[in-house]
């Protein structure tokens, strides 16, 4: 990227007036807005606690819970961070109100919505970008530059991962507040197939290597972590890998999932060199499998002083930067509407492929009318469970069942505390540094009163409605925690004793 081009965005005295629709994730962009001449002038959210928070940060801005009222205000662009499966319709509503749109991932939820969105953007003449931020961490920005220079040659194979266990977000908002009423599930994180959420693992590979997906295949997966809502279809508590052919013939493994090891590993094999992004960056250069592999220092080049400390490893800055640049100067962003469609489509089709036991699908190119026409009327979508009812019987005692979301979201973390203590102490004699296990015992002792109280409420709910979906989820977590043992009066003394033994052994 030429320096003069970069500087144009910062040198101008033009301002972009931004409205934020969805004040959970939508609140993460504040610092970057300030650096990019974007003035946040309006906010919209159903949730009172989010509106209050928005107003605290931005006392002069207009705020409402009403989308029509919000979009009727005079501003230039919307940062769209509403419910994931609603983005296409919400984005179209913004475009129709004459606003540019920076939409959170993913761009759309069905093939037909994708067609509608692409055509609505074309018709509007406004800027639409997808806020796909994972390609803009320092290692990926560095790799993109070197890839364009030809250091790695042509892509042969790559693996991208977004393995992120976000179990408690089935029951709370992103700010940790339990969903209200307390016996309703989160609107989409409680059921959405992880296939749909395919952009953080595929986006970097597309951006770095300049390739786009053309065919996708996936197989069913059935595993599920305890305490994830259990509907008939897969949700965010399982793994959903797919295999994608790119337009140069390369293959890509795209792995999403919520399981017991969060990873964001990326591996790239070109025909001249290879790279591994594992937080840092290693390159293997020399054109052969056993050639030298070394760590390299990666930064964001001339952007570094602006980007350091920004959310998602700098990614949140870059999506706003490209958006502002396209609005001000017309330079297309990496994830304009076509990039957005390219990175969203493989997830929709991978889910379908897995349901059809591995039937491969061609990924259409929505730049072409012929491809859009082929999918224009395809409304296939994962069935949406009734998230407002279904955890407990309708006539259940609400004073009890409304404690469910608070209880289960705490139980998830307390279960982790207990399991981490128990399982690490089971292998403590094998640890290189057994001292690392001691804080795990300290933590269990510290939170023991909360464990008793939370597990106590969970047990009350289980006993009151033993056959309910809610009881099943709580029971799974209580079992994971070994609640019978943990709730016995002898447990804290056992923990202290185990801790003393390790301390003695360490001398
Ligand atoms: N790129 C990233 O790193 C990243 C991280 C987190 C979330 N996200 C994406 O951002 C989006 C928002 O994330 P979240 O965690 O805040 O999601 P969420 O679903 O918990 O929250 C959406 C918010 O929008 C509000 N909302 C939705 N529709 C509305 C409407 N019509 N009128 C008024 N308010 C409305 C809801 O009240 C809620 O507070 C999601 O699609 C998610 O995929 C991206």
Sketch the domain layout of the chain as residue ranges.
3-130, 134-303+337-361, 398-506
- CB crowding 153-181: b at 16 or more within 10 Å, else e: eebbebbbbbbbbebbbbbbbbeebbbee
Q: Whose CA is nearest to atom 27 of ligand 1?
A: 82
Q: How far is CA 4 from CA 7, 27, 129, 302, 331, in A?
A: 5, 30, 23, 11, 13
The mean pLDDT value for 198-226 works out to 96
Question: What is the enclosing helix (H) or strand (E) of 480?
Answer: helix 469-481
| Neighbouring-strand partners of residue 434 | none
- 499 band by pLDDT with thresholds 50, 70 and 90: very high
Shortest-distance Cα residue to atom 37 of ligand 1: 46
**Span between the terminal Cα atoms of the chain, in Å:** 57
Question: What is the rounded CA–CA span in Å between residue 457 and residue 206?
Answer: 48
Q: Nearest C-alpha to atom 25 of ligand 1 is from which residue? A: 22
Instruction: State whether the beta carbon of 82 lies less than 6 angstroms from ligand 1.
Output: yes
**Residue 3: what pLDDT?**
46
Residue 410 reports pLDDT greater than 90? yes
Would you place residue 7 in the very low, low, confident or very high pLDDT band (cuts 50, 70, 90)? Answer: low
Look up the CATH architecture of domain 3-130.
3-Layer(aba) Sandwich (3.40)
34: burial class by Cβ within 10 Å (0-12, 13-18, 19+)?
Answer: exposed
Please calculate the CA angle 476-477-481 and round it to the nearest 5 degrees. 120
> 22 CA to middle of ligand 1, Å?
5
Assess whether the C-beta atom of 335 lies below 6 angstroms from ligand 1.
Answer: no
Length of the chain in residues, anyone?
Answer: 507
Residues 190 and 230: beta-carbon distance below 8 Å: no
Closest to 228 measured CA to CA, from 291, 280, 165? 165
pLDDT above 70 (res 198): yes
Mean residue pLDDT of the chain comes to 95
What is 134-303+337-361's CATH number, 3.30.830.10, 3.30.360.10, 3.40.50.10190, 3.40.1830.10?
3.30.360.10
Q: 124: Cβ below 6 Å to ligand 1?
A: no
Evaluate: CB of 173 within 6 angstroms of ligand 1: yes
């Amino acid at each position: 990227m030429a320096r003069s081009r970069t500087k144009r965005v910062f040198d101008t005295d033009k301002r972009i007036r931004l409205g934020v629709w969805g004040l959970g994730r939508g609140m993460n962009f504040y610092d970057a807005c300030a650096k990019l001449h974007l003035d946040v002038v309006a906010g919209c959210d159903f949730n009172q606690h989010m509106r209050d928070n928005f107003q605290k940060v931005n006392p002069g801005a207009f705020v409402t819970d009403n989308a029509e009222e919000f979009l009727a205000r005079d501003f230039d662009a919307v940062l769209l961070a509403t419910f994931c499966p609603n983005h296409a319709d919400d984005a179209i509503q913004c475009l129709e109100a004459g606003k540019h749109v920076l939409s959170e991932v993913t761009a759309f939820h069905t093939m037909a919505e994708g067609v509608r969105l692409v055509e609505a953007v074309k018709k509007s003449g406004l800027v639409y970008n997808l806020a796909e931020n994972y390609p803009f961490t320092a290692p990926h920005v560095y790799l993109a530059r070197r890839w364009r220079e030809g250091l790695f040659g042509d892509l042969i194979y790559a693996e991208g991962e977004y393995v992120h266990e976000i179990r408690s977000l089935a029951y709370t908002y992103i700010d940790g507040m339990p969903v209200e009423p307390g016996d309703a599930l989160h609107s989409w994180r409680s059921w959405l197939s992880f296939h749909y959420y395919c952009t953080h693992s595929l986006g970097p590979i597309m951006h770095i290597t300049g390739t786009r997906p053309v065919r996708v295949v996936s197989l069913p997966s059935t595993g599920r972590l305890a305490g994830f809502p259990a509907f008939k279809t897969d949700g965010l508590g399982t793994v959903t890998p797919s295999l994608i052919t790119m337009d140069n013939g390369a293959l890509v493994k795209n792995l999403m999932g919520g399981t017991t090891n969060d990873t964001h590993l990326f591996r790239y094999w070109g025909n001249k060199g290879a790279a591994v992004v594992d937080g840092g960056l290693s390159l293997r250069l020399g054109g052969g499998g056993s050639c030298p592999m070394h760590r390299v220092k990666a930064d964001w080049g001339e952007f570094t002083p602006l980007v350091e400390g920004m959310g998602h490893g700098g990614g949140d800055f870059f999506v706003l930067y490209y958006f502002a640049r396209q609005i001000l100067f017309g330079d297309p962003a990496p994830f304009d509407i076509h990039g957005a469609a390219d990175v969203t489509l493989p997830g929709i089709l991978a889910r379908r492929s897995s349901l059809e036991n591995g039937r491969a699908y061609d990924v259409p190119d929505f730049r072409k009318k012929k491809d859009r026409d082929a999918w224009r009327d395809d409304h296939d979508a994962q069935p949406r469970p009734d998230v407002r009812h279904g955890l407990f019987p309708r006539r259940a005692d609400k004073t009890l069942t409304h404690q469910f979301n608070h209880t289960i979201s705490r139980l998830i973390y307390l279960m982790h505390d207990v399991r981490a203590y128990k399982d690490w102490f089971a292998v403590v004699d094998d640890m290189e540094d057994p001292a690392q296990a001691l804080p795990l015992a300290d933590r269990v002792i510290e939170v023991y009163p909360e464990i008793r109280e939370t597990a106590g409420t969970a047990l009350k709910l289980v006993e009151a409605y033993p056959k309910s979906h809610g009881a099943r989820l709580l029971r799974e977590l209580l079992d994971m925690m070994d609640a019978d043992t943990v709730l016995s009066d002898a447990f804290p003394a056992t923990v202290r004793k185990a801790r003393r033994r390790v301390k003695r052994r360490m001398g």
